[in-house]
């Protein structure tokens, strides 16, 4: 995937931006393994919530690393490959639509984050989390508001979570093409709402998110 190479003043500006995003990594540099954690998909009407945990090497430099919402799909895909190649460890966790309906979205998000940490294969010394404190984890945690724009570790996690979930929703689009999941990734766009009223919810819709839409259920069995 072609991503423009930076040189001269633009490169210096990008390096300075990344250096500013290492504030928390420098604050806790005495820790050997600093892990960033973020999620994707708390708000959509369909699909799983996905969390990622990433431990980057201390000397790691990945240009363009940023909050996934500020990046184009092309850059996210490029950075996904860079992060998974350069990270000391990373883990992905998720909770299904059925699990979200069963325990609520916040608890499902915590569950996905805990899974991501468990899958690292390396025990982190500290977790830098995007805005939350995960219950039941016996590791020091630092919740950072808008952390995906303030920490390279959290930014890396946000990209892995977002790309993983987007790829899943693109695959779901092949199974349920009438909803347009490849375009809106399950978020409540006008196109998605129109499809819901026309076809009713499908097995990957979050029933608890649809209570105010007064939809006819035409899908049959639910996925858990």
Beta-carbon contacts of 177 under 8 Å, excluding residues fewer than 6 positions away, are none
Beta-carbon contacts of 29 under 8 Å, excluding residues fewer than 6 positions away, are 58
Q: Quick one: pLDDT at residue 221?
A: 41
- What does pLDDT average to in each consecutive run of 10 residues of the chain (224 residues)? 71 94 97 98 98 96 94 96 98 98 98 98 97 96 96 98 98 98 97 96 97 67 37
Q: Quick one: pLDDT at residue 6?
A: 75
Q: Quick one: pLDDT at residue 7?
A: 79
Q: How far apart are CA 11 and CA 41, in angstroms?
A: 32
CB atoms within 10 A of CB 171: 11
Q: pTM score, two decimals?
A: 0.92
Q: How far apart are the first and last CA of the chain?
A: 36
Biggest CA-to-CA distance, the chain: 59
Going along the chain from its start, the domains and CATH numbers come out as 12-175 (3.30.420.10)
Annotate 44-64 with b (16+ C-beta within 10 A) or e (fewer).
bbbbbbbbbbbbbeeebebbb
CB atoms within 10 A of CB 42: 14
Q: Quick one: pLDDT at residue 220?
A: 46
- In angstroms and rounded to an integer, the radius of gyration of the C-alpha atoms of the chain is 18
Q: Which residue, among 217, 219, 208, 222, has the nearest Cα to 42 in the 3D structure? A: 208
Backbone angles phi, psi at 95, to 5 degrees: -130, 135
- How far is CA 7 from each of CA 15, 21, 209, rounded to the nearest angstrom? 11, 20, 47
Q: Quick one: pLDDT at residue 223?
A: 38
């Amino acid at each position: 995937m072609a991503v423009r190479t930076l040189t001269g003043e633009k490169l210096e500006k990008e390096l300075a931006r990344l250096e500013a995003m290492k504030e928390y990594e420098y604050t806790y540099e005495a820790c050997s393994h600093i892990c960033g954690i973020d999620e994707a998909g708390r708000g959509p009407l369909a699909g799983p919530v996905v969390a990622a945990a990433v431990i980057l090497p201390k000397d790691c430099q990945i240009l363009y690393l940023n909050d996934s919402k500020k990046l184009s799909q092309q850059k996210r895909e490029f950075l996904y490959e860079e992060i998974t190649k350069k990270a000391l460890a990373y883990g992905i966790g998720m909770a299904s639509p059925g699990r979200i309906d069963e325990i609520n979205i916040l608890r499902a998000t915590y569950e996905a984050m805990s899974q991501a940490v468990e899958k690292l294969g390396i025990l982190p010394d500290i977790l830098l989390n995007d805005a939350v404190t995960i219950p039941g984890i016996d590791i020091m945690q630092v919740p950072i508001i808008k952390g995906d724009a303030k920490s390279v570790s959290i930014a890396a996690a946000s990209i892995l979570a977002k790309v993983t979930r987007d790829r899943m929703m693109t695959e779901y689009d092949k199974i349920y093409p009438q909803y347009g999941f490849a375009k809106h990734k399950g978020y409540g766009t006008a196109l998605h709402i129109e499809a819901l009223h026309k076809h009713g919810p499908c097995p990957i819709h979050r029933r608890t998110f649809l209570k105010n839409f007064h939809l006819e259920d035409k899908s049959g069995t639910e996925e858990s």
